[in-house]
Amino acid sequence: MVTPTRDRQPKVQVRDLSIHYGGKAALAGATFEIHEHEIFGIIGPAGSGKTSFLRAMNRMDLFNPAMEVGGEISMDGKDVRKWKNVYALRRRIGVVFPLPVGLPMSIYENVALAPRLGGTRKRADLDVIVERCLTRAALWDEVKDRLDSLGSLLSGGQQQRLTIARALSQEPELLLLDEFSIAVDPVTTMKIEDVLKELRQELTIVLVTNLVQQARRLADRTAFFLTGELVEVAPTEDLFTGGASDERTTAYVEGRFG
């Protein structure tokens, strides 16, 4: 049985977070918590600041000189901006982007790369990791007989699951998903959703989605972002059953705009 989120410890704490690009605000003054072993949904129209939050969480601002981040994001009580080794931080955070990003190598090597970089050298150990991660991503049965084939030859849905397996291979504590189903067929989307429900037992998941019903199916709690403002955070089902505290949230989940 899943522990109610109110009884869980915070994994991520966000305090007065502001994000600007070249002086233009993408997110202003957001404060909220993400609990351990929950799926935390973030919904809102395009341009609301959802992806900007994920970028700030994973310190991707280092790749964009125009991105300015203020306030604080802490994981396990430590400000992510104060980590001296940002690569050590990123090893604890897996990221899955909207479109599959397959590395130009075999299916096996796509998953084995992170463990190799982390110091795992024995083939037998790598075999165990690859099978475990592909199984957790609901892909093992489909590819176990062609692990030496290029990952780029897989279907779009399979490539997205390979991306998830690769993210899991680094044994993250936090998994960030940015519109993972945007280029995936409905059947594969449901397979991945089933995977995420199982993974919640092992790690914390942040799900950014434009599909409000996907948030309703998966998220324990959901945040609604609108034009750079965090409107509210609440148990997901409350937002869909008249329990939203802001009329804008109700209008959005009912499809009256967005």
* Pairing between β-strand 174-178 and β-strand 204-208 as defined by DSSP bridges: parallel
pLDDT computed for residue 3 by the predictor: 45
Could you please state the CATH topology (level 3) that the domain comprising 8-92+215-258 is classified under: Rossmann fold (3.40.50)
For 155-181, how does the pLDDT look when each residue is reduced to its tens digit (9 = 90+)? 888 998 999 999 999 999 999 999 988
Reported confidence tier of residue 7, pLDDT bands at 50, 70, 90: low
Alpha-carbon distance 77 to 36, whole Å? 13
Q: Higher model confidence: residue 208 or residue 183? A: 208
Q: What's the pLDDT at 98?
A: 83
Helix orientation angle between 107-117 and 123-136, rounded to the nearest 10 degrees: 120
Please check whether residue 67 is in contact with residue 109, taking contact to mean a CB–CB distance below 8 angstroms.
Answer: no
Predicted local confidence at residue 185, as pLDDT? 85
Chain segment 54-71, per-residue pLDDT in tens:
999 999 999 999 999 999
Domain boundaries in the chain? 8-92+215-258
Cα–Cα distance measured from residue 109 to residue 36, given in angstroms and rounded to the nearest whole number: 30
Model pLDDT, residue 6: 55
Average pLDDT over residues 87-107: 86
Per residue in 187-197, pLDDT (tens digit) is: 888 988 998 99
pLDDT of residue 258: 73
Q: What is the pLDDT of residue 107?
A: 97
The per-residue pLDDT for range 228-245, each reduced to its tens digit, is 999 999 999 999 999 999
61 near 55, Cβ under 8 Å?
Answer: yes
d(CA 252, CA 239): 10
Distances (CA, A) of 122 to 106, 107, 126, 127, 193: 18, 18, 6, 9, 32
Residue-level pLDDT at 8? 72
Dihedral sign of CA atoms 79, 82, 85, 87 in order:
positive
H/E stretch holding 197 reads helix 186-199
**pTM: predicted TM-score of the whole model, two decimal places:** 0.91
> What does the pLDDT read at residue 2?
44
Confidence of residue 144 (pLDDT cuts 50, 70, 90): very high
